[in-house]
Amino acid sequence: MRWKLTCRDAGDGSGDAILDLPDDLLQAAGWTEGDTLELEPDPDCSTIRLKKVVRCDVCDASTTEMGHGVLQAQWRDGEPERMQLCRSCFGYAMATLKRAHWVNHMFDDDPDSGQED
Ligand SMILES: [Zn+2]
């Protein structure tokens, strides 16, 4: 996806630039107000790449390079809950849940039903 956008001076003497992101770009990229974006200039400096920065809700690590996992609930009688996790924290959550499953099923008749894989 490519868009041609124009930076405008922030007008506060800082030398900062403001880049207005059009709605069709936000929609196509899945970005919303409040997201943190990272600029990555291409080597020839003719274009810049924008990437959404997601921080792990547990350890605050950036998940830009590796991606992130999502733990999400949509309760019928309450607020939705959501956590974005780095690979390490997501792995910990998954291992903890698999261990709980194993403990809950360790005395089941079927010896294979509760084993971790
Ligand atoms: Zn983490």
pLDDT tens-place string over residues 24-67: 999 998 888 888 888 888 777 778 888 888 899 999 998 888 88
Q: How far lies 52's CA from each of 27, 37, 58, 64, 111, in Å?
A: 13, 4, 18, 7, 45
The number of residues in the chain equals 117
CA angle at residue 53 from 31 to 36, to 5 degrees? 60
54 CA → ligand 1 middle, Å = 11
Whether residue 78 lies inside any domain: the answer is no
In a domain, 30, yes or no: yes
Q: Give residue-wise pLDDT tens across range 62-73.
A: 888 888 999 999
- Structural domain harbouring 3: 1-53
Domain membership of residue 82 (yes or no) is no
Cα 105 to ligand 1 centre (Å): 29
Q: Is residue 45 part of a domain?
A: yes
How remote is the CA of residue 62 from the centroid of ligand 1, in Å?
A: 8
Q: In this structure, is residue 72 part of a structural domain?
A: no
The whole-angstrom separation of Cα 64 and Cα 39 is 12
Q: Considering its fold, how many domains does the chain have in total? A: 1
- Does any domain span residue 34? yes
CA separation for the pair 11, 75 (Å, rounded): 46
Residue 88 in domain: no
